[in-house]
Amino acid sequence: MSKVIKIKKGLDIPLLGGAEKILQSAPRSAVYAVKPPDFHGLTPKMLVKEGDRVKAGTPLFYDKYNEDIVFTSPVSGTFSLLVRGEKRRIMEVNIQADPETEYIQFKSGDPAGMSRQEVTSLLLKSGLWPVIRQRPYDIVARPGDMPKGIFISCFRSAPLGADLDFVVNGQESLFRKGLDALSRLTDGDVHLGVSASGTTSEAFLKPGKARVHAFSGPHPAGNVGVQIHHIDPINKGEVAWVVDVQAVIMIGRLFDQGIYDASRIVALAGSEVLNPRYYRVISGAQIGSFTRDNLRKQAGTTPRFISGDVLTGTRIPADGFLGFYHDMVSVIPEGDQPELAGWIAPNLDKFSISRTFPSALMPWRKFRLNTNIRSGERPFVITGLYERVLPMDILPMQLIKSIMINDIDMMEKLGIYEVAPEDFALCEYVCPSKIEIQSLVRDGLDTIHREFA
C-alpha cells in the first residue's frame, strides 16, 4: 500500500441513527421498479409492453443514443405499469414480482481468460453495464471508450454511510472476480480507495493486481471523485470509470454463476428508524418492505425518506423504490415545523460548522437534524466556506459562477472535468446563500457534454 493520503478539508456531520452490524433479509417486495431518471442523460426506448412476462435479466429498455446499453429486469414477473411524468417522460418501469426469481442464463467463466470484447459483451447483454459510470460528466460509461483507469471507493464517509467491510464479508471471492473482469476493460490500473484507519477486509487490502490507496480525514474522503483527484486527476480528453463495491460483487456473480442477480445489502439508517440495521434486498425494491413497522412514531413529526445518503440521495415517498446506485435508505425528520426564534435560539440540539451553538463544545454529540434550511435563497457572496469543505485543488466559488454565466472556457480552466455533483454536496450544506449547488454543477456538466460529446 502506498503512503496515506491525508484529507484535511471537509466535514463530518454527526447524525443519529447509524446502522448496527446486523444483517437480515427483507421481506420480498410485491413490486420492483427500474427508474430511467437514475441514469442521467438517458433517453429510454421500451422493449417490452405492459402485461409481458419477464425474467431477471430480460431487457426492458435501451438507450436511444447507444442501443448497445440495455437495462434489464431485476426480478421475474409481469411488466405491470409504465409510470410517466411531465412531457410523458418515463419515470418508472414497474414489475409485479413472482414469489421466486427466475433468471436468464448468461455465459459464465473466468474473466481473466476472456478478452476485453468478451467481457464488455457479457456486461452489455446482461444489463450490468450501467453500473459503470464515467468521469467526466458522471454518466453511464461508453463501451467504446478506453479509460485511463477504473476507480472504486471501498469506504463510505458520508453521514450514516454503509460499512463496506461489513457488506463485503462473505463475498470476497465474488469481489475479486469482479475486479478481474474490470481489469480487462482498461489498459490502466484498477484503483481501490480504502480508509487508513477503518478498512480491515482482506478483499480491499490485498486485492491482487489492483492498486490500493489509503485515505484519512473527514468526508468527502470517501467520495470517489476526491480520490481520483488525489490519485490521477482527469484532464480534458481523458476518461476514468467509476464502479461501487456492490456493483463489483454483482459483476463477479455474473461471471461466477451466469445470472444477473441484482441483490445487494442496504443500510437502513437515520434518527427516525427504531432499529437501524442492514437488509439484503433486490435493487429496485419498494422500501416499505423493510421500513414498515421500524419507524419512530412521534406526534407532529413527518419522516423524510431518502434513497441514498442525506447529502446526495433522492427524496422518495414511503412506498417509493430503492435507487439503482444506492446502498442505503436514510430516514430523518421533515423540516416542516415552525421553530421559535428560528436559528437564533441557543439550544444544544443544533449543529453548525461555524461553532455558533453551544453544541460545539461537545464534539462527541450526535444530532437529530431535520431538512429545514432556515430561510430561502440569498445573495451569492464570498465567504470562504466552500474552500473549507472541498479538498480539491480547484476554486469552487469561481467555478460555480462560471457555470451560472455559462462561460464554457472558464469552466474548463477551473476544473469542471474533475468534478461531479456529489463532490459539491458539502458546499451546498454549508452555503449561507442557500443555493442548490449540486444542480448547478449538473447543469454545467450537461453544458460541457452537449458542447464536446
Mean pLDDT score of the chain, rounded to an integer?
94
Q: What is the pLDDT of residue 341?
A: 64
> How far is the C-alpha of 424 from the C-alpha of 311, rounded, in Å?
9
pLDDT tops 70 at residue 105: yes
Taking residues 117-130, report their average pLDDT: 97
The region of weakest confidence among 80-94, 219-233, 306-320, 377-391 is: 377-391
CA 166/CA 318 separation, integer angstroms: 27
CB 418 within 8 A of CB 234: yes
Any long-range contacts for 409-416 (C-beta under 8 Å, 24+ apart)?
Answer: 411/444, 411/447, 411/448, 412/236, 412/448, 416/136, 416/441, 416/444, 416/445, 416/448
Return the pLDDT at 380: 86
pLDDT in the model for residue 350: 78
Dist. CA 1–CA 299, nearest whole Å: 51
Task: Give the pLDDT confidence of 395-414 residue by residue, as tens digits.
Answer: 999 999 999 999 999 999 99
User: Which region among 165-174, 282-291, 318-327, 355-364 has the lowest average model confidence (pLDDT)?
Assistant: 355-364
CB 396 within 8 A of CB 427: yes
pLDDT exceeds 60 at position 447: yes
Return the minimum-mean-pLDDT range out of 9-18, 93-102, 204-213, 360-369: 360-369
State how far the Cα of 12 lies from the Cα of 104, in Å rounded to an integer. Answer: 43
What does the pLDDT read at residue 260? 98
- Which one-letter amino acid corresponds to residue 42? L
pLDDT-derived band at 356 (thresholds 50, 70, 90) equals confident
Contact 254, 124 (CB under 8 A): no
Q: Tell me the three state secondary structure of residue 139.
A: strand
Q: Which residue has the cell 426469481?
A: 101
From CA 189, how far away is CA 183, in angstroms rounded?
Answer: 7
Please state the rounded mean pLDDT for residues 40-54: 96
**Has residue 1 got a pLDDT over 60?**
no
Q: Is the pLDDT of residue 361 over 80?
A: no
What percentage of the chain exceeds 90 in pLDDT? 85
- pLDDT value at 53 more than 70: yes
- What are 178-218's pLDDT values in tens digits? 999 999 999 999 999 999 999 999 999 999 999 999 999 99
Residue 90 has pLDDT above 90, yes or no: yes
Confidence of residue 429 (pLDDT cuts 50, 70, 90): very high
pLDDT(13) > 80: yes
Q: What is the pLDDT averaged over residues 418-431?
A: 96
Average pLDDT value for residue range 130-141: 97
Give the chain's length.
453
Q: How high is the pLDDT of residue 342?
A: 62
Does 362 score more than 80 pLDDT?
A: no
Q: Which of 36, 69, 235 is nearest to 136 (CA)?
A: 235
Share of the chain above pLDDT 70, in %: 97
Q: Predicted confidence band at 352 (pLDDT cuts at 50, 70, 90)? A: confident
Confidence at residue 297, expressed as pLDDT on a 0 to 100 scale = 85
pLDDT of residue 206: 94
